[in-house]
């Protein structure tokens, strides 16, 4: 077995960094597209606030120790590996020792610098839908390896599929909410590329305000946000169910809902989805409720329910089923579907206390 080497990031990543996932996911249709250029750019963008060290044998394992310049938690990310416990024990022992040496109290992951980028592992086997856009999709042995390495779930999440036979029940149970939409003191702004450009600065601020209180959240710069979430991203959104809520009196954005079809069956690869082009080509009409949130000042006012009801207004004309994606297990938004039958898939972020 080749020894693990430690490679502090100094502007470039080894060639093997991008070759290892190819071997791990050979024959699997569920590996997310990883852009080498984008990953290198992310490492460079994050270098000012993190030290990063690649631990690898150049063949069967890569993992990055992420050591933030502030805070008590270190992270491991970009973890891809063969099913080799001894190899992982060696790599994580080196990573953990370095985190302890630097004074961190806890090691958390997988997390690729920030929750804006890939993080979490899927628990269990492949769900009936296969894999939706940006869903964690990893070999089933990944959580098992982490358990053997002494990690435990520190945050859990789930996705819920509501099948067509449950849709009539959903509408009957939400009739009161649907009737109330017209009386709300809020304006519904459908999201598309044009409205995204118009509200881009406010959107960045709203996203940060909504999610900054979440565990493991790390903010990103406006420039990083625009690389991920921009007019091209807005083109993939369903303009009939994706929406911003703005106060009629204050003209202040208070909530958001990003939804789009599940384009996975079209096998677009690295081509960005586009609703106008790709929706008519779908044979499986599944809506993904991807990102839904309410500003802290407006919570506990049924806003999440109203966002869901807004999406329901056009749902039956456009879709057959819906997946509520990657909701934190303790999030209030889960209650929207509690009364309905659903298929559930779970995910977790893992942690381990470091003993000094």
Please determine, for residue 256, whether its predicted confidence score (pLDDT) is greater than 80: yes
**Residues 278-291 pLDDT 10s:** 999 999 999 999 99
User: Does the bond joining 110 to the residue before it have cis omega, within 30 degrees of 0?
Assistant: yes
Instruction: Assess contact for 288 and 325: CB atoms under 8 A.
Output: yes
Q: Which residue has the higher pLDDT, 242 or 28?
A: 242
Residue 128, pLDDT > 80, answer yes
Q: Indicate the pTM of the whole model.
A: 0.93
Confirm if 291 and 236 have CB atoms less than 8 A apart: no
* Distance set, CA 344 to CA 52, 160, 216, 226, 260 (Å): 35, 5, 23, 32, 19
Give per-residue pLDDT as tens, 219-244: 999 999 999 999 999 999 999 999 99
Of the listed ranges 26-35, 195-204, 253-262, 323-332, the least confidently predicted one is 26-35
Helix, strand and coil percent figures for the chain, each rounded to 5: 35, 25, 35
pLDDT of residue 33: 67
pLDDT recorded at residue 337: 86
Euclidean distance between CA atoms 174 and 310, whole angstroms: 11
5-156 and 164-340 share one fold: yes
Cα angle 247, 253, 258 (rounded to 5 degrees) comes to 120
DSSP characters over 36-86: HHHHHHHHHHHTTTEEEEEEE-SSSEEEEEEEESSSSEEEEEEEEE-S-HH
What is the predicted pLDDT for the residue at 1? 54
Q: How confident is the model at residue 152 (pLDDT cuts 50, 70, 90)?
A: very high
What pLDDT was estimated at residue 215? 86
Average confidence (pLDDT) over 39-52: 97
- Judge whether residue 332 has pLDDT over 80: no
Quote the pLDDT of residue 16: 96
What per-residue confidence (pLDDT) applies to 72? 94
Largest distance between two CA atoms of the chain: 67
CA 311 centroid distance within chain = 20
Average pLDDT of every residue of the chain: 93
Share of the chain above pLDDT 70, in %: 98
In which residue are the tokens 């997946």 written? 323
pLDDT attached to residue 336: 81
**How far is residue 122's CA from residue 111's CA, in Å, rounded to a whole number?**
13
Instruction: Tell me the domain boundaries of the chain.
Output: 5-156, 164-340
Comparing 159-163, 190-194, 249-253, the range with the smallest average pLDDT is 249-253
> What CATH class has 5-156?
alpha beta
CATH superfamily of 164-340: Gcn5-related N-acetyltransferase (GNAT) (3.40.630.30)
Give the model's pLDDT for residue 214.
87
Has residue 140 got a pLDDT over 90?
yes
Q: Identify the band that residue 263 occupies on the pLDDT scale cut at 50, 70 and 90.
A: very high
pLDDT reading at 255 higher than 70: yes
pLDDT score recorded for residue 82:
96
- For 253, the enclosing helix (H) or strand (E) is strand 253-261
Confidence (pLDDT) at 34: 83
């Amino acid at each position: 077995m080749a020894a693990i080497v430690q490679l502090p990031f100094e502007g470039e990543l080894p060639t093997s960094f991008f070759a290892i996932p190819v071997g791990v996911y050979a024959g699997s249709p569920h590996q997310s597209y990883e852009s080498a250029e984008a990953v290198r750019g992310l490492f460079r963008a994050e270098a000012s606030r993190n030290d990063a060290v690649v631990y690898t044998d150049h063949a069967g394992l890569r993992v990055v120790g992420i050591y933030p310049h502030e805070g008590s938690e270190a992270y491991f990310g970009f973890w891809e590996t063969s099913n080799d416990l001894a190899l992982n024990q060696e790599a994580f022992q080196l990573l953990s020792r370095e985190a302890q040496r630097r004074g961190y109290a806890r090691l958390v992951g997988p997390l690729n610098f920030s929750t804006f980028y890939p993080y979490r592992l899927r628990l269990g086997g492949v769900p009936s839908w296969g894999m939706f856009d940006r869903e964690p999709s990893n070999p089933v042995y990944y959580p098992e390896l982490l358990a053997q390495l002494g990690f435990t779930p520190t945050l859990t999440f789930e996705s819920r599929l509501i099948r067509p036979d449950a849709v009539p029940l959903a509408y009957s149970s939400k009739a009161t909410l649907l009737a109330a939409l017209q009386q709300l003191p809020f304006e519904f702004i459908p999201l598309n590329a044009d409205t995204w450009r118009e509200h881009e600065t406010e959107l960045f601020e709203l996203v940060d305000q909504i999610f900054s209180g979440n565990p493991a959240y790390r903010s990103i710069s406006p420039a990083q946000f625009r690389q991920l979430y921009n007019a091209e991203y807005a083109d993939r959104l369903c303009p009939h169910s994706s929406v911003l809520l703005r106060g009629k009196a204050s003209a202040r954005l208070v909530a958001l809902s990003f939804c789009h079809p599940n384009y996975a069956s079209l096998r677009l690869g690295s081509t960005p989805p586009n609703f106008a082009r790709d929706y008519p080509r779908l044979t499986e009409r599944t809506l993904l409720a991807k990102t839904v949130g309410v500003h802290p000042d407006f919570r506990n006012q049924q806003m999440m329910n109203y966002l869901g009801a807004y999406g329901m207004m056009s749902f039956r004309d456009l879709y057959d089923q819906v997946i509520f994606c990657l909701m934190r297990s303790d999030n209030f938004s889960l209650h929207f579907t509690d009364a309905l039958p659903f298929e559930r898939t779970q995910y977790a972020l893992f942690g381990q206390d470091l003993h000094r």
